[in-house]
Amino acid sequence: MPTLYIDQKALIKNIKITKQLAGDAKIIGIVKENGYGLGLLPFSQLLMECGIETLAVSSIEEAISLRESGIRCDILLLCPLYKKTDILEAFRHDVILNIASPACGRLAEQVAEEASIWNEAHLCIDTGFGRYGFSYEDTEGILDIVKHMRHIEITGIYSHFYASACKRKKPTIKQFKRFTSLCDALEEHSVFIGTRHIAASCGLLKFPETRLDAVRIGSAFLGRLPFSNQWGYQPIGELKAAVSDIHTLPTGQGIGYGHSYIAKKKTTIAIVSAGYSHGLGVHRTMDNPKIKNIPGAICHFFKKILFPKRIYALYQDQTFPVIGKIGMNSCMIDITGTDIQIGDIVSLPVNPIFVDSSIERQYSIS
């Protein structure tokens, strides 16, 4: 079974870079989905050791897991709750609620009143993402919910950019103005809105003026950015797996599914016990491009076909190309002319978020 090794030194460096860029803005560490693949508990603990005092999760189960593991910092829930039992669990574990609609707010207040409990919450605002949140235009609706809350205290308000990684700046600036205008309107009605946050990793890096009181950071900690890295972030995480077999193939032999690779000469290959089910070769793709972007999408498609980005395995400071299509639980590397043996361990680059949670995580200091 492969193991995901996380370079703790590089991770700490990425955290320090982010803190410098955030300035006076508080950092909310996003640890959703198994800590972006770094392991929910160890990643959370490391963030706290580095001075991050607020964490955010995407499910009540993640929040409960952190509390039961001894995490005592503020925990913000990034999704609304509509079941009384879930809300009670959030109260019981001192989790900051997400109020994203009138129904959500009324239910939270009702449950808190019945249980004679006081709890914090952040208002979630939809400024254009189209996911959770009150409409940025619904000032009256938000005021109506907030003014009837006696047991739920609003200590923050936030939204989320949908295009901060893109080249076009207009959508992000428009969302930012919508958000700040709403915040101003609520304050004019004497509503305490607390911590304002809209920028995530891409927003912080490309639009530093949007950092406001806090920024929500996840992918930047991993050093994986969808644009040129000019800040010194380092990608972290590598999959280590054993060589399970070695074969020598004749010239002209096809390798793997579809024979996408044909041996041009006598080739020695090593079969490595790591595949796409372990996150190898898995990456985000561009889906459903708009009509005006179709030429660019077509160009990108043919570029990938004609000039595919190669993946290389590492063994004792030597690199070996992964050849053929990656299988579910194995891949093949060209080791012609080397002394690699069955059982040797090689390293492969992966994005931790795509590595199955069943895979062991180990933090190492390189």
Does the pLDDT value for residue 94 go beyond 90?
yes
Does the pLDDT value for residue 102 go beyond 80?
yes
CA–CA separation, 84 vs 143, rounded Å?
A: 23
Tell me the average pLDDT across 326-345.
96
The model's confidence at residue 50, banded by pLDDT at 50, 70 and 90, is: very high
Tokens coding 301: 């498609």
Query: How many residues are given for the chain?
Result: 366
Which residue type does 216 have? R
CB 25 within 8 A of CB 212: yes
The model's confidence at residue 345, banded by pLDDT at 50, 70 and 90, is: very high
Give the per-residue pLDDT at 271.
97
Give the per-residue pLDDT at 100.
98
Alpha-carbon Rg for the chain, nearest whole angstrom, is 24
299 or 164, higher pLDDT: 164
Tokens coding 51: 């001075």
pLDDT digits (tens, 9 = 90+) for 291-314: 556 665 565 555 555 455 789 999
CB 89 within 8 A of CB 75: no
CA–CA separation, 273 vs 289, rounded Å?
A: 35
β pairing state of 318-323 and 360-364: unpaired
CA–CA separation, 153 vs 45, rounded Å?
A: 27
Between the CA of residue 122 and those of 76, 98, 99, 126, 343, what are the distances in Å? 8, 5, 6, 13, 52
Q: Which of 337, 165, 182 shows the shortest CA–CA distance to 265? A: 337
Give the per-residue pLDDT at 146.
96
Concatenated DSSP letters for 229-259?
A: --S------EEEEEEEEEEEE-TT-EESGGG
Give the per-residue pLDDT at 220.
97
Burial-class residue 209 by CB neighbours within 10 Å (0-12, 13-18, 19+). Answer: exposed
Give the per-residue pLDDT at 1.
85
The model's confidence at residue 269, banded by pLDDT at 50, 70 and 90, is: very high
Secondary structure tally for the chain: helices H, strands E: 11, 19
224 or 134, higher pLDDT: 134
Query: Domains of the chain (ranges plus CATH)?
Result: 7-222 (3.20.20.10), 238-349 (2.40.37.10)
β pairing state of 119-126 and 238-249: unpaired
Give the per-residue pLDDT at 34.
96
CB 37 within 8 A of CB 355: yes
